[in-house]
Structure 1
């Protein structure tokens, strides 16, 4: 099968690319290699994927380009059987500072992918969305029908992408599924995320820093569970036109997460609290029953196990990863 992964050199996109190559699929990656964080992480991801491709008799092609370029997107989608659209300007806090950029990439870029998928007659398009679409909770956990009131331009952009996907499905029958990710973490994650920052600071004799009072709760989802949800959509069409939550086994308070990392790496350190930042949701918690019913999604990694796995990966890769964490 020929698969296109936009943003395929990024964190989630890179793990998807690696998984598809292990399964023997041919993959084309479209990525603009934006230095939003240490670009070396993306190059490491591509190198890893090339190694996997050679070991499994699969073909990997990497195209440096942008989803805002409709001509590039159209040409790549035309040769794909399935498209996984992961490319986005990530970062809630970044979106508060650069809303026009977020809109151009996350909304206009997504429309380019949708239109190209329609014109190219793809078998399936999977769109990466986010729990940021929910905003302030009316009730927890979030079911897919929960009211949406995003509190950041990033959340707005992701909700707009979902609506465009819905319209393309309803008007044209485009086989598209939107997956709402809940705070994904794991190896090669963005270095400005909470878990990677906590680990880095503790390894370097510094206290983990928590924004606000730390009572915010998050549904942290290990990247392997996210990969499983996406891989399932290669072989099933039961979710066409649907939006599905992709979350974890439970939630955790941010301050407890900081303590969990601290206790493993630097038990004598305190936890430092600083002012909360704009655009961050107070709570996220996924109801994954719809994804369980439709595609058999069953998250299997607890936050305790996932943090332990990330710390072990960090330890083995600290030499190249940590300077990038420091440079954010």
Structure 2
């Protein structure tokens, strides 16, 4: 089958594209190579996908373009069976500086995808949402019936994105699902994320820097679990019209995470602390029982296992990846 992955040169989209190609599907990737983080990471992803296609039965095509281009989106969607909409303007903190860009990309871009999918009778649209839609926690873990009160323009744009997705499913009978990702990490992750920064500093004998007092709680989800949840939507309609949490089913304090990475790589170091940003979430923790019921989803990688995998990958790719983390 033919699968369109928007944002398919990015972190999550790139891993999806790689998996779909490896499974023998024909994949078209749309990505605008936004400079939010280094283009080199996306170029490595594209190279991996092309190599995967060359070694198997799937095919891979890259289209450099923008989801805000409605005509281009319609052209690509018309040729697809499934659409995985991963393209987004990322970054909670930067959304505070430029909220209108987040609306233009995350909301209008999504409407372009949904309109094209409705017109061309797509088998399913899977839209990437975020745990940022919840905002300040009232109780943990979050389930999908909890209030959504985002505290950043990024979170507000992701909430609008998923509400449109579910509304199109209801009004137009469009098979569409919104997956609420909880802090995804793993190989080729954005270099400005906490785990990549902690690893980079510790491996270079520099103290990991924790923002705030480190008591913030995060549900970190390993990329392989995210991919598995998405793949299941190729073969089931059970989640159509729904927003569904995709997390790890476990949490860790940021301070504890920094300590564990420090202890693994440079145990003699002391942690450093810096001022916390107001837009950062206090806590995230996913109740994944809905994903389990609808998709048979069961996260398989604990944070400690995932960090060990990432450290191993970091060491193997340090030459090209580390300079990009250091610049972020």
**TM-score normalized by the length of structure 2:** 0.99
Instruction: Report matched runs for 1:103-182 at 5 Å.
Output: 103-182=103-182
Aligned to 1:303: 303
Cα separation, 1, equivalents of 2:254 and 2:126: 30
Q: CA deviation at 1:264?
A: 0.6
Q: Deviations over 1:202-258 (max 9, x none)?
A: 111210001100000000000000000000000111111011100003100000000
Q: Deviations over 1:32-86 (max 9, x none)?
A: 0111111100000000000001111211000000000000000000000000000
Cα separation, 1, equivalents of 2:213 and 2:83: 41
SS of 1:87's equivalent in the other structure is coil
Cα separation, 2, equivalents of 1:292 and 1:23: 23
Runs (4+) of structure 1 exceeding 3 A deviation are: none
**Greater alpha carbon shift after TM alignment, 164-173 vs 178-187:** 164-173
Aligned to 1:253: 253
Instruction: Report matched runs for 1:262-277 at 5 Å.
Output: 262-277=262-277
Aligned to 2:25: 25
Cα separation, 1, equivalents of 2:34 and 2:135: 27
Q: CA deviation at 1:160?
A: 0.2
Structure 2 contact 33–42 (Cα < 8 Å) conserved: yes
Instruction: Report matched runs for 1:28-43 at 5 Å.
Output: 28-43=28-43
Count of aligned positions = 328
SS of 2:317's equivalent in the other structure is helix
Instruction: Report matched runs for 1:1-328 at 5 Å.
Output: 1-328=1-328
**TM-score normalized by the length of structure 1:** 0.99
Cα separation, 1, equivalents of 2:34 and 2:161: 21
Structure 1 contact 162–178 (Cα < 8 Å) conserved: yes
Q: CA deviation at 1:268?
A: 0.6
